[in-house]
Amino acid sequence: MPIIFLKSLILGLVVIKKLTKIVFIIFLSLFVAQSVCAKNYFIIEKSPLPPQEESAKTDGLPQDVLAFAMNAYTYALKRNEVHNPFFLTVIDFDMPSYKKRLWVIDLHNDHVIMNIHVAQGSNSGKIYATRFSNRIGSHESSLGVFTTVGAEYHGKFGESLHLKGLELGINDNAYYRGIIIHSEQDVSPDFIRTMGYAGQTWGCFAVNPDHIDRLIELLQGGSVVYVYASPEKNDLNVNHDMSSGIEEVYNAIVRINANTIARFFHAF
């Protein structure tokens, strides 16, 4: 019996040693990945390059835009306009149209699940959106806090989704302007590679036809869509300190999406 016990003890120590080594390797890998991760989802690095070249380098959602988006979610929530609380969509119109500047965040898992191209209004600009309007007939994009309305429907542009603007004087005419989410072939990667920019709309948020079904499936039923550009810095509905609860969600999103390995494990 003592010999059997001793063998069992030795075997147990060997197993513990191997498990300790495995855990050490995992933590070391996470640390290295955090240090050398090529792109942070939410940080635009400062660069001496001209604005267009600098934008071409970045494929992440800036942290300040994410912070505004979290406040936008809170704003809609307080107005009892959120009926699909699971997803938050962010559009950054400070980025050029040839970049992927629409993100869908799974708020349950603090996880970015879509990052795609999106069109802007024809009178807002071709590559960079510089003009925004709430006026009917302006053919310009609107900024601010929106929610999706109802379920998908089949309209002039195929599968589509209505939007409601929640901010008086900023986007509250969106529904009457017919501002919707729909698809357009000229927002496809092939078109953008050929032309150097995405096609324009009359103010709608058009996406690649390959993504429309999935996008509507996630967003329909009253989810929040926040549209950012520099003028939003003057919007006090979103430009303020985050509440402690929403700041925790914000920090989790940044932490998880900044690390490729962490994102992978968090998905399970």
Q: How does pLDDT run across 10-28, given as a tens digit for each residue?
A: 445 444 555 555 544 454 4
Predicted confidence at residue 160, as pLDDT, reads 98
β-pair partners for 88: 105, 224
pLDDT for 54 equals 37
Answer for the pair 227, 215: CB distance below 8 angstroms, yes or no: no
pLDDT for 258 equals 75
pLDDT at residue 187, as a whole number: 98
Spatial separation of the C-alpha atoms in residues 82 and 146, rounded to whole Å: 10
Q: What's the confidence (pLDDT) of residue 101?
A: 97
Q: What is the pTM of this model?
A: 0.77
Query: What pLDDT is attached to residue 18?
Result: 53
Give the CA dihedral 81, 87, 107, 267, nearest 10 degrees: 160
pLDDT at residue 40 in the model: 35
Helix (H) or strand (E) holding 66: helix 63-78
- Domains along the sequence of the chain with CATH: 51-266 (2.40.440.10)
130 class by beta-carbon count within 10 Å (0-12 exposed, 13-18 middle, 19+ buried):
middle
Please tell me the predicted confidence (pLDDT) of residue 257.
84
User: What is the mean pLDDT, run by run of 10 residues, along the chain of 268 residues?
Assistant: 47 51 48 39 33 41 96 98 98 98 96 96 97 98 98 94 98 98 97 97 98 98 98 98 94 82 46
pLDDT of residue 51: 42
Say what the pLDDT of residue 256 is.
86
